[in-house]
Amino acid sequence: MKAAIIVFPGSNRDRDMKMALTKASGGKPPLEVWHGDADFPKVDLIVLPGGFSYGDYLRCGAMAAHSPVMREVKARADKGTRVLAVCNGFQIACEAGLLPGVLMSNAGLQFICREITMRVETSDSIFTGKYRKGQCIRVPVAHHDGNYNADADTVKRLEDEDRVAFRYANLFGDVSPETNLNGSVGNIAGVFNKGKTVLGLMPHPENATDPVCGGTDGVGLFAGLAEALQ
């Protein structure tokens, strides 16, 4: 698997993502592409990492969505190149039109940084194929603007087309207002584009790939990508 991580001013999980991808690829590190570059080598996977691109000024992800490199990212995504967008990357992907919806301020208007449980809603994608539908995994979150929202028609389309990837839940897989840490519509933690070639999610699977860091529930996502894109 040949991957590229897009690095923006303010990215802070790019190194974490690099470690997870390197491990999944058998020691082959991904490319690191600066946001100002208009082109980069052909890859199988593009990653928009977490952080605070452009200091979250104007609106989270809004400025990064117009970085020179994003024109190329969108062009490749349109041709089927897989894109993984995590946390701030999810915000950027939505602002750039790669994914539907928007990420707003958390319902409690506070920054949330802790380990959470999310339920896998579908195993029918290369991102989630190593998990079982209904499986609950533990991964960290770290965001202030993770409240996923979309109009009713868009949410229905996501549900009908099996494009909800993850939901915030408890350890038993129960989804309720109590498990909805940020106010996201339908407890949604991650969504796909129409072809399931782009995945955006707020939690950080890259920070759950080493037992030294507290857990390995994120390994399945990267292992599935490495196997499918080898």
| Each residue's pLDDT tens digit, 40-77 | 999 999 999 999 999 988 889 999 999 999 999 999 99
Whole-structure pTM value: 0.96
Distance CA 149, CA 157 (A): 13
Query: Which pLDDT tens digit goes with each residue over 136-178?
Result: 999 999 999 999 999 999 999 999 999 999 999 999 999 999 9
The pLDDT value recorded for residue 214 is 85
Question: Is residue 75 within 8 Å of residue 105, measured between CB atoms?
Answer: no
Mean pLDDT of the chain: 96
Question: Is residue 67 within 8 Å of residue 36, measured between CB atoms?
Answer: yes
Distance CA 88, CA 60 (A): 7
Could you list the active site residues? 87, 204, 206
